Amino acid sequence: MTSISLFSKDIALYKQLKKQFFTFLILLLSSATLQAQHTLQGTVVDRGNQPLPGVSLAIQGTTTGTATDINGEFSFITSQTLPVTLVVNFLGYRTQEIDVYEAGTPIHIVLSEDIHFLDEVVVVGYGTQTRREFTGSVASIEGERIKNTPVQSFDQALQGVAAGVNIALPNGQMNTPPVIRIRGINSISLSSYPLVVIDGIPVNTGNISTNRASNNPLGDINPSDIASIDILKDAASTAIYGSRAAGGVILITTKRGKTGKAITSYDGWIGVTNAVRIPKVLNAQQYTDIKNEAIANATAIDGIAREPAYFLSHDADGSIIDTNWRDHVYRTAFSHNHSLNVSGGTEQTNYYLSLNYSDQEGILIGNDFKRKGIRFNLDHKVTDWFKIAGRGTYNISVNESYDSGSLPGASMTTTGAARLALVLPPNVGAYNADGSFNLNPNSGTLGSGNNKATIPLYNPAALFALSSYSSESSHFIGNVSAVFRPLRQVEITTTYAMDRINNENIAYQSPERGSAAYSSGGSVTNISTLFQNESWTNTLSFNEVINNKHFISALLGSELQQNTITAWGANATNAADNFFKYYQGGWANIVASGNNLGERVFFSIFSRLRYDYKNKYFITGNFRRDGNSALAPGRKYGNFGGVSGGWLLSEEAFFKDISSRTGIRDFKINASWGRVGNGNLANNYSSFDLYSAALYGSAATWENTQQGNPELTWETSDQTNIGLGFSALKNRLDVEIAYFHNDVNGLILSVNQSPSKGIPGDEILANVGTMYNRGLELSAAYEVIEGRDWSWNVSLNYSNIRNKVTALANNNEDIIGSTGSGNTNITRVGESIGSLYGLKTVRVNPDNGQRVFLNAQGEEVQYNGLGSWTHLDGSPAEALSGEDFYLLGNALPKWYGGFTNNLRYKSVELNLNFTFAGGNYIMNRTRSTLTDQIFFNSSTEILNRWTTPGQITNTPRVVNGDRLSFGGSTPISEHVEKGDFLRLQNISIAYNVPNKLLSPGPFHSLRLYGQINNALLFTNYTGIDPEVSANGNSNTAPGVEYNTAGLGRTFTFGLNATF
Amino acid sequence: MKKIRFIQAALLLLFSASVSFAAQPDLKKEVIHVNSARFAAPLVERWASEYERTNPGIEIAVTTNPSTGQQEFDLYFVGPANEKEENVNQHVIYTGRYALLPVANKSNPLLNELGRKGLNSKKLEKLFFEASLSQGYDDSPEKPQQEEVTIYSGNNADSFADLFATHFGYSPADIRGKRISGNDIYLINAVQKDNTSATFNSLGYLFDTETRELKSGLVLLPLDLKKEQQETLKSANVDQTIALLEKESIALIPVGRIGFAYQSENASAKRFLNWVLEEGQKYNREFGFLKTEPDLLAAQLKETKEPHYSAVY
């Protein structure tokens, strides 16, 4: 037992008590200290209640603070006496100050986005800039805006979204590349299509299919993967892309993961599409009556006896056969589209993974587009000075289609479905009574029934059953890059990128009667094409701020790009048996088809220098030296570049007073000049002498097929841009205005050569010809109401543009453009490129029902429908020909744009997107088809035909065989119509399910919507659609509608969910 | 050594026992646990003490911080933080109302600018909110003076910011200026020390419940109201203000309800609520609260009097 005495000299006990005393003292002191400390903790979220990681929080006037973690949570200790002011900062959000009086309760901080026009980031060539710094001309579109649009490729969804960018769908066939013109047509013979760069990779564009099923390689990009689309419009912005930038540049940035928890998103829609505005045609009775009337009229004119040739037919049950052929061509189409992605990241690594599947039916029977694919985007910070990134997308897409007759050059095919839907006689059926196809036993075309006229067009029911066309792509686009930051100011980036398409095109036509290949015993054509673009890009950038006034930025880079194309294929005819539907089957005749081998290399060095003074004065210079192997030796390299300057007036002291009086802010003016090139030669060896293998008698030899031009070099485009922009009404109104003038020089055209030179085709490519585009653009966005319950935003973009050709080859010789089998357009000095061209009609002579024309001398002459031309007094007149053609109007819209309305009440949104264009004329050649005086059925327009002397009408007397009065064989001005239109491109109503209904549950957000695309069209144009065109992206034959399939109206229901 | 430990253990036991003993309720009394928001606590405590006085067998335990101690309550407070939440398992009885008025530091130059007419809805929204609905229709250049006003608002879940913002069709995140973290009573401190400041708060916090006058350093922002209404508010007397608001509803003055959620089978809680509705209303004004609207009061009295039957089949 231990005796206890607190006063004893028991050392051990003393030590223990001493220890306990000090422990107590320390605890006491600690607790006193702790009393002066406070733990500040809480969460930072955005207005959608999503946690915000990386938000900076600091106590005002101190260095005490922290940043939120991936869950948006923060916690730190302060010894400051309360209250303290907590300053909450996060880029892109309004800074918030919170006076903290009590530390016990978690602080819930909601940050609002600080949407400031000049702080928006735009993607420029090889980098990004804010609008404040940017001194060129750019239109930016958020990916969110297009992801729900029922399209096959993102470019189809860009109609009316940006000033200076005119986009039109040329026909209703699936996956057709749209017509894109940025600030007008910028070439005559070369492509005016803009350069499309996806995550820094210039990619293949255009229709790569070799058969009737179109294939736009941009359809292999899942629209839901796109974060932003930036369209560079002026040379100062595009010059960094040098020789391929004359048509503008479209920069696509795909989504990346953000630091934070993994977020899964699903975007999906289902839709129904119907054909609209299909012309009304005659029924069987009207058809036979009018066709026989035309025969009788012919007899009345020349006195030659003719018998009626058109008679009704009857079914087995005795009812009249009255076939609506559109039911055999068009359908109600069903589509569905799904995209699922997961994204997230840590401080070191961000990822974005996606899957997509799309199955879309076209309004034309048999037109089906399918795509499935994956994407993987990864960014990893290895160290503070070294980052790596990878982007990759692989998609498999296939488009199946019959011949719609809507692709360039196909408007007059005997198998073109859009024409068959209109012109086939309604008094014959698609099937016989026994269920077999109604076919002509000799030709295999549609059977004539009781009609005496032979029908050389095919029965679509048989045609579709006995043929197929498909174009399938396996498409990879990807890059890997590494970024080094050896110094704070210096960043070195190296990127290897690849765009590789393995494209297989199969066209099959059965040997059976009813197929277009009936006479050749069937046909199958397989063409396989491998497109491969590889590039290696290296950049070095330097950014430094000196004295907080001078900002200097420099970019130096090099790019090596190699494009190769390898195509091979074969056409097999005369099938050994109807069984064989594939090339691999038994075919008697096989010949090579579609072979192609090409290579083109670009090597470039480029730079950009930028200097800002006090964030008020901005100057940027771009330069690129481009080498293109397709050009002539000694002329392969060209120098391109531009300079631009900006002045932010609103930062000047004198503007502050103006700003406070008028509310105008962020007032900035820009000006730029630059020169870019166009070396988009269709042939990789355009400047070379070319020889092909041939036979000289029976001996193998070479023949000269192209005479090279050692002088051949780039087309160049000198572009001037002057713009201004400002915000007003407390940043609720943003306005941008720009004027541009583009001089295109050195247009590459074929120049006639003397036959004595022995040059193949008697022509040679040369840099001759000039033209200009100039115009004005306006963009405005206005936040009319922005409140908790209500918001209403409107935006408008408007462009006015003039194109004029100022010089052409061969002493300014006109260039004629054609559609189908006839000339329809003319490119003439002093006029807009590709103006409409044809015979000028005046009226229908009320006395005799004959169409009155103007001949080249300006005299009125009339045509009796049977080959006789007379003056109005009855005296003979010379037959009109191509020499009597007039320029009938400009085919390019002089103004166009878009107008959007976004209205929200609480959780419900209503969006209305209008597009408009006009000032142009359209040649409605389909009207010619539908009044042509051959066996074709006619539109109901023919019911207004002249029948009685004195009758005033624009529709002449019908005369069998008359192919001139109605424009059947020759375009006439009667069918040239104004193309002005206003389209309700999209109307959607959406419901954002409130968070309180979603919680608890897996969803972070859920949006349900219904929408109608191509909802309404207001136009006086009588054709199927004012935006379709028979010649697609042709520069010299725009504005012609000729048996073209129109655009469908699509109803979709979809949802966007994150969880 | 062992003795030391023994002494320490004994002291600890003694201390624990005394604390436990002190914490034991009177076993004869039935305890009703009630939680309350801080701004309503004085009123709730008054109700409790008066009820206890007339019902000696009942003890009302009022808690204002549910995160500590008692977690289960017989009566859950319903107020700014949760008035809109619905729980089908609980009944809610509203026992009073609170009103929000805009105030400023009495040296704020804004007061001279506003003049006699005062703030109408458009001006009030422009003053308090980041993106006013009315701005879209107002193309007059903004007045720089308004930029200089610092708006203070609460950031806590039970702040009045939610009622104030939603009353005018906004979200709390739309409110301009600075936030404070802590109870809304600290908004008074913030405004008192900043002569560019303005805020909004409940009558119970704005007025001194002893003097019945506005707290020092504050002035009510004049509102564009009828003359007699303006005169009443100008008097800056809490009783007159409450009388006015109980008499008529004024669009520019947000009014919210307070009450309690309870389980229908909790008879004691229901009896207490019935008492609050029948007898306790007379204490509301003293603490800056309005009485429950007469129609609602009558309906709730009926509800709290009738026994709640639940059928079993």
Contacts of A812 (CB under 8 A, 6+ apart): A829
Supply the pTM of this predicted model.
0.75
DSSP β-bridge partners for residue A706? A690
| Residues in chain A within 8 Å Cβ distance of B131 | 732, 783, 786-787
Instruction: In whole angstroms, give the CA distance from residue A456 to residue A443.
Output: 8
**pLDDT (tens digit, 0 to 9) for every residue of chain B, 313 residues total?**
455 555 555 544 444 444 444 444 445 678 999 989 999 999 999 999 999 999 988 999 998 865 555 568 889 898 876 665 555 556 889 999 999 999 999 988 877 777 667 888 888 888 898 754 333 333 333 443 444 788 999 988 789 998 998 888 788 888 888 889 888 999 999 999 998 899 999 999 999 989 999 999 999 999 999 889 988 998 889 999 999 999 999 989 999 999 998 887 888 999 999 999 999 999 999 999 999 999 999 989 988 885 544 333 3
Q: Which two tokens stand for residue A827?
A: 């490119």
Cis upstream peptide for A956 (omega within 30°):
no
Residue A106: closest C-alpha in chain B: B156
| Residue A30 burial (CB count, 10 A) | 10
Residue from A447, A601, A470, A460 nearest A525 by CA = A470
- Residues on chain B touching A661 (C-beta within 8 angstroms): 141
Of B135, B157, B171, the CB nearest to A108: B157
What pLDDT is attached to residue B87? 55
> Does residue B179 sit at the A interface (CB-CB below 8 Å)?
yes
The rounded distance, in Å, linking the Cα atoms of A19 and A706 is: 104
Q: Do B1 and A792 touch (CB under 8 A)?
A: no
Partner-chain contact B155 A785, CB within 8 Å: no
What's the confidence (pLDDT) of residue B136? 32
C-alpha B118/C-alpha A1005 separation (Å) is 42
* pLDDT, block means (10 residues), chain A with 1059 residues: 40 54 50 64 81 84 81 86 87 82 83 70 81 84 88 90 89 92 86 89 91 94 94 87 85 88 92 95 97 96 94 92 96 96 90 96 96 96 94 96 90 92 96 94 93 93 94 96 93 96 96 93 96 95 88 94 94 93 92 91 94 91 90 86 92 82 86 86 78 82 82 84 89 91 84 70 76 94 81 94 91 86 90 95 96 96 95 95 95 95 92 96 96 96 96 96 94 96 96 79 88 96 94 89 94 93
Return the residue matching tokens 């329809």.
A824
Tell me how far apart the alpha carbons of residues A825 and A969 are, in angstroms, rounded to a whole number.
15
Residue where the block lists tokens 């029911």? A461
What DSSP state is assigned to residue A328?
Answer: G
Helices and strands: H and E segment counts in chain B: 12, 9
Taking the CA of residue A83 and the nearest CA in chain B, the distance in Å comes to 9
User: Do A784 and B174 make contact, defined as CB atoms within 8 angstroms?
Assistant: no
Task: Classify residue B290 by its DSSP letter.
Answer: B
Residues of B whose CB is below 8 A from A792? 136
Cα–Cα distance for residue pair A186/A587, rounded to 1 Å: 46
Residue in A108, A660, A789 nearest the CB of B144: A660
Closest chain B residue to A109, measured at CA: B155
A787 closest CB neighbour out of B152, B169, B186: B169
**Residue whose entry in the numeric block shows the structure tokens 């399910």:** A993
- Residue B69 forms contact with A (CB below 8 Å): no
Take residue A444 and report the two structure tokens written for it.
Answer: 């295999």
Burial A463-489 (b: 16+ CB within 10 A, else e): bbebbbbbbbbbbbbbbebebbbeeee
- Residue-level pLDDT at B19: 43
Chain A residue numbers touching B155 (CB-CB < 8 A):
98, 107-109
Nearest neighbour of A96 by CB, restricted to B65, B179, B182? B179
Give dist(CA A999, CA A902) in Å, integer. 27
Q: By the CB < 8 Å criterion, does B166 face chain A? A: yes
Nearest CA distance, A85 vs chain B (angstrom): 8
Interface check for B88 against chain A (CB to CB < 8 A): the answer is: no
As a whole number of Å, the end-to-end CA separation of chain B is: 69
A733 DSSP β-pair partners: A728, A782
Q: What is the DSSP letter of A830?
A: T
Rg (CA), chain A: 35
| Contact across the interface for A790 and B133, Cβ inside 8 Å | yes
Phi, psi torsion values for A196, nearest 5 degrees: -110, 125
In angstroms, how far is the first alpha carbon of chain A from the final one? 70
Number of Cβ within 10 Å of residue A433's Cβ equals: 11
Q: Which helix (H) or strand (E) holds A950?
A: none
Choose among A94, A99, A792: nearest Cβ to B180. Answer: A99
Judge contact between B294 and B300, C-beta under 8 A: no
Q: Identify the residue among A18, A111, A662, A788 best suited for mutation to test binding to B, counting B beta carbons within 10 A and taking the highest.
A: A788
CA dihedral angle for residue A148, residue A152, residue A155, residue A159, rounded to 10 degrees: -60
The number of CA neighbours under 13 Å toward the Cβ of A259 is 14
- Token code pair at residue B235: 């008097």
- Residues of B numbered 4-23 whose beta carbons fall under 8 angstroms of chain A's beta carbons: which are they? 4
Q: Identify the contact set of chain A against chain B, taking CB-CB distances under 8 A.
A: 2, 4, 13, 16, 42, 47, 83, 85-86, 94, 96-102, 104-105, 107-112, 660-663, 729-730, 732, 783-790, 792
Which residue's structure tokens are 């002509």?
A: A440
Among A642, A637, A636, A559, which Cα is nearest to A605's? A559
Min Cα distance A654 → chain B (Å) is 17
Contacts of B169 in chain A (CB under 8 A): 787-790
Chain-centroid distance, C-alpha A1044: 19
Residues in chain B: 313
CA A112 to chain centre: 34
Contact A789 B174 (CB under 8 A): no
Does B56 contact chain A (CB < 8 Å)? Answer: no
Q: Do B171 and A790 touch (CB under 8 A)?
A: no
- CA atoms lying within 13 Å on the CB side of residue A219: 32
Q: State how far residue A103 is from chain B, nearest Cα, in angstroms.
A: 7
Q: Which has the closest alpha carbon to A95: A83, A111, A108?
A: A111
Is A78 in a helix, a strand, or coil?
Answer: strand
Distant-in-sequence, close-in-space partners of A981: CB < 8 Å, separation ≥ 6: A916, A917, A918, A1017, A1018, A1019, A1021, A1026, A1027
Contacts of A907 in chain B (CB under 8 A): none
Per-residue model confidence (pLDDT) at position A117:
62
Which ranges in A897-1027 belong to alpha helices (H)? 925-929, 995-998
Q: How many CB pairs under 8 A join A and B?
A: 108
Structure tokens at A921: 């004329």
Q: Is B136 exposed, middle or buried (0-12, 13-18, 19+ CB in 10 A)?
A: buried
Residue ranges with strand state E in chain B: 30-35, 58-63, 76-78, 91-105, 150-154, 178-181, 197-202, 218-220, 255-262
Check CB contact of B50 with chain A, cutoff 8 Å: no
d(CA B57, nearest CA chain A) in Å: 35
Q: Best interface-test mutation with A: which of B8, B156, B181 has the largest number of A CBs within 10 A? A: B181
Comparing CA positions, the residue from A843, A841, A865, A867 lying closest to residue A854 is: A841
Please give the structure tokens belonging to residue A994.
């409130």
Backbone angles phi, psi at A856, to 5 degrees: -60, -25
**Minimal CA–CA distance to A273: which of A419, A152, A397?**
A152
- Locate A21 and state its tokens: 């005393």
How far apart (Å, rounded) are the C-alpha atoms in residues A1059 and A122? 29
Helix ranges, A663-710 (H): none
Other CB atoms closer than 10 Å to residue A506's CB: what's the count?
23
Angstrom distance (rounded) from CA A1032 to CA A406: 9
- Give the distance from CA B177 to its chain's centroid: 22
- Determine if residue A64 is left, alpha or beta; phi over 0 gives left, psi from -120 to 50 gives alpha, anything else beta: beta
Q: Answer whether the bond into residue A83 is a cis peptide, omega within 30°.
A: yes
ipTM higher than threshold 0.90: no
Alpha-carbon distance of A654 to A3, in angstroms, equals 93
Contact B218, B191 (CB under 8 A): yes
Do the Cβ atoms of A730 and B144 come within 8 Å?
A: no
Strand partners, A357: A338, A372
Q: Which of A13, A102, A786 sits opposite B183 (nearest CB)?
A: A102
Q: Which residue of B133, B172, B181 is in closest CB contact with A785? A: B133
| Residues pairing with A591 in the sheet | A571
Which residues make beta-bridge pairs with A815?
A: A827
Q: Which residues contact A921 (CB under 8 A, 6 or more apart)?
A: A836, A888, A889, A890, A891, A976, A977, A978, A979, A1039
Task: Identify which of A478, A491, A539, A497 has the alpha carbon closest to the alpha carbon of residue A386.
Answer: A491
Summarize pLDDT for A863-888 with one digit per residue, the tens.
999 999 999 999 999 999 999 999 99
Q: Which residue, among B129, B163, B179, would best test binding to A if mutated, counting the most A CBs under 10 Å from its CB?
A: B179
At a CB cut-off of 8 Å and minimum separation 6, what does A883 contact?
A856
